[in-house]
Amino acid sequence: MTLNRSIRLPALPLLLATAFAGPATAESDSTAIDGPAKESAVFGGGCFWCVEEAYDKVEGVVATTSGFAGGELENPSYEQVSSGDTDHIEVVKVEYDPERVDYRTLLYVFWRNIDPFAVNRQFCDRGRPYQSAIFPEHADQRAMAEATRDAMAERFGREIGVEILDFTAFYPAETYHQDYYDKNPVRYNFYKSACGREDRLQEVWGDEAEAYAMP
């Protein structure tokens, strides 16, 4: 069956998730962190299912949680965010062990898992919820994020669509969104392929596409 991407694909994440979802709760099933406090980082790269998959492959990342950031509404639902009625962006909170992986590496992975030129969209998903963004949690993270964005603008010789926004709050998405790529591989891989994510990443990044470590 041929898909009409302009009409049907932007709704795929909602359709695929809710068709098989149980009761929605704003809880995360990501792995709990024991021991010394870890550091965290927040990234928006389009569909949070795909961003979560990318960071779960990174050595030193100890937990990932899909959720929302950037808007004023507290504890928004997926339906509220995806409708475009809030200013929230789909994001992933990445908790990591700084003795095993640093923020610079997380930024390297971020860039190579997005289309850096897109504005208010990523791949087939369109609208503010799919804006690519970095949410620095302190001044050091902001400085590194801005430096990498400048480097990307110089590398490609064109304007970069990624926003760097103040981090204020993170709200976890409903439980059925957490680890979706792992729990629902058939439906996830259909969405990812139909959305053109892998093809576009190859077009932009070549051998660097979908990196999960620095060379």
What's the pLDDT at 22?
Answer: 38
Q: Which residues are catalytic?
A: 47
What's the CA gap between 49 and 66, in Å, rounded? 7
What's the pLDDT at 32?
Answer: 42
Question: At 68, is the secondary structure helix, strand, or coil?
Answer: strand
What's the pLDDT at 13?
Answer: 52
- Could you tell me which of 110, 94, 117 has the C-alpha nearest to residue 38? 94
* Residues contacting 51, CB < 8 A, separation 6+: 43, 44, 45, 66, 90, 91, 92, 113
Residues 178-210 pLDDT 10s: 999 999 999 999 999 999 999 999 999 999 999
9, 65 contact by CB (below 8 A): no
Bridge partners for 172 per DSSP: 67
Regions of the chain where pLDDT drops below 70: 1-37
Q: Provide the CB-side half-sphere exposure for 76 (13 A, CA).
A: 25
What's the pLDDT at 118?
Answer: 98
What's the pLDDT at 10?
Answer: 43
Question: Phi/psi at 101 (nearest 5 deg)?
Answer: -150, 145
